[in-house]
Chains A and B, each alone.
Chain A
Amino acid sequence: MIKKIMCFCGSGLGTSFVMEMNAKKALKNLGIEGVTVEHSTIDDVIPGAADLFICSADLLPNAQKAGKAIGLNNMVAVKEVQEKLKAVFEEDQA
């Protein structure tokens, strides 16, 4: 079960926050509740830190070392993160 999502970028300040905001919107649109979303820096990305990591496509290999992860090409639009979250949650519940 995915209960905690961590969005991260290289600095933990800018991009990660934008991703957090859009991930929250996407979860709401998908009707998924009871999941916490936070943003952080790449230094906090360790196995067990979250059930799912979200980052830019460039950082995906780093995230996959720590667990299940989504890499995004567009971090300002809700569309991409929503599609990818939908797929992950469908798989999670299967």
Chain B
Amino acid sequence: MKLLKQENVQICETAAGWQDAIKISVLPLERSGYVKGCYKEGIIENIEKLGPYIIIADHIALPHARPEQGAIGTQISVTLFREDIEFEGRETSARLFVTLAAKDNNSHLDALMHISELLSDEEVVDEILASPDVPTLYHYFERI
């Protein structure tokens, strides 16, 4: 199963705060019908309640919420911001948003495993962050 489409990969200059960055990163999934409009609000509410637990490493965020918070299908979108997005109460900021919608507890685990392996190499992360265009950025995630 292919969980990432090139049309759901985007590069943006910046966002007006982390809430806006989340909304931008969820937009491709919303547009292609994988999540309901309330999904992004679910992610934002979770972060407001629990802190930015979606930051999985320096520069990398994995925005996601529970299936019952508005996920329809299982799919991923990738958003690279050219500027750091700051989260309150967290020293590190994020530029790469790998946004996940999961319709159940299992369908996304293979993809997550690949994402995690890919992003565990800091040199690769630096290369990804420097992607000049969408096809280059997509190429890194193509296996997913």
- Complex contacts, B49 vs chain A, CB 8 Å: 10
Report whether B53 and A77 are in contact in the complex, using a CB–CB cutoff of 8 Å: no
| Interface presence of B119 (CB below 8 A) | yes
Binds B, one of A15-23, A27-35, A46-54, A85-93: A15-23
- With an 8 Å Cβ cutoff, the count of chain B residues facing the other chain is 33
Q: Given A11-B65, A58-B89, does the pair A78, B120 have CB atoms closer than 8 Å?
A: yes
Once bound together, how far apart are the Cα atoms of A12 and B56, in whole Å? 14
- Complex contacts, A77 vs chain B, CB 8 Å: 57, 120, 122
A-B contact count (CB 8 A): 82
Digitize A51-81: 1 where CB-to-B-CB distance is under 8 Å, 0 elsewhere.
0000110110010000000000111111000
Which residues of A approach B to under 8 Å, CB–CB?
9-15, 17-18, 21-22, 41-42, 55-56, 58-59, 62, 73-78
| A and B contact pairs by CB, cutoff 8 A, 30 listed | A12-B66, A13-B66, A13-B100, A13-B102, A14-B102, A14-B108, A15-B64, A17-B109, A17-B112, A18-B56, A18-B112, A18-B113, A21-B116, A22-B120, A41-B66, A55-B53, A56-B53, A56-B55, A58-B51, A58-B52, A59-B50, A59-B53, A62-B50, A73-B57, A73-B92, A74-B57, A74-B58, A77-B57, A77-B120, A78-B120
